Structure 1
Amino acid sequence: MTRTAKILHLAALTAAATLYIISTSAAYAQSRANCGPRDAVVQRLAEGYGETRQSVGIGSNNAMVEVFASDDTGSWTILVTMPSGVSCLVASGQSFEQVAEALPAKGSDA
């Protein structure tokens, strides 16, 4: 392999590595932008979207999973709070409806 070819290969590898680092850093920064102290996140959901807590449960690793929604606008948000107190928005959307469906009868194929 000639010296010029080696330099071109090195330049290509450097460019690829740089693009990879930039793309993964941007994804990490985006995911961190959806997290913060629970009190601040809940206040933002209330003031910005009129959402209140509709349900709560404990998930894996003792994470608290909450659904917030607005009866007025139909917006909803799923919030996961880790034991450390850091809360992250994991999903959101529109057309929230509260339902209370009965379990199907035993032996039913439903």
Structure 2
Amino acid sequence: MFKRLCSTAVIFGAAALAPPVHAQPMTCLPRADLIEHLEGRYSEHLTGGGMQSPLQLLEIWASDQTGSFTVFVTRSDGLSCVIATGQNWQDTTPTDPEGVAG
């Protein structure tokens, strides 16, 4: 549980260190089009996400094959806006330390 919490803190902490949104060009398009592009061109699949607010869903898509990843928010009207992209995605699976009962 602690490792999952730390991983989540690192991911969202890194997002907080990104330049302000107004300094980056925001790419927004219908979610279906974005998913088709991520699956077809980058072999990415959904790896995690959650509700950012009652009207916004945050999703993280990544590829085990290419190491690429994409973070985007989908609004209630179906429009998805890319927040971040990158390379060398590391998928961490939480494990229980030896000798510790959970």
Q: TM-score of the superposition, structure 2-length normalised?
A: 0.65
Indicate which of 71, 79, 83 corresponds to 1:78: 71
Per the TM alignment, residue 101 of structure 1 is displaced from its structure 2 partner at its CA by: 3.5
- Counterpart of 1:57 in structure 2: which amino acid? G
What is residue 34 of structure 2 aligned with on the other side? 41
Equivalent-residue separation in structure 1 for 2:47 and 2:68 (angstroms): 12
Correspondence 1:41-80 to 2 at 5 A = 41-80=34-73
Correspondence 1:93-108 to 2 at 5 A = 93-101=86-94
User: Which 4+ stretches in 1 moved above 6 angstroms?
Assistant: none
| Unmatched segments (≥5 aa) in structure 1 | 1-26, 104-110
What percent identity do the matched residue pairs reach? Answer: 32
User: Tell me, what secondary structure is at the counterpart of 1:48?
Assistant: helix
Greater RCO (CA < 8 Å, at least 6 residues apart): 2
Number of aligned residues: 75
User: Tell me, what secondary structure is at the counterpart of 1:59?
Assistant: strand
User: Tell me, what secondary structure is at the counterpart of 1:42?
Assistant: helix
Equivalent-residue separation in structure 2 for 1:67 and 1:52 (angstroms): 8
- Larger % of strand: which? 2
Indicate the structure (1 or 2) with the bigger Cα radius of gyration: 1
- Larger % of helix: which? 1
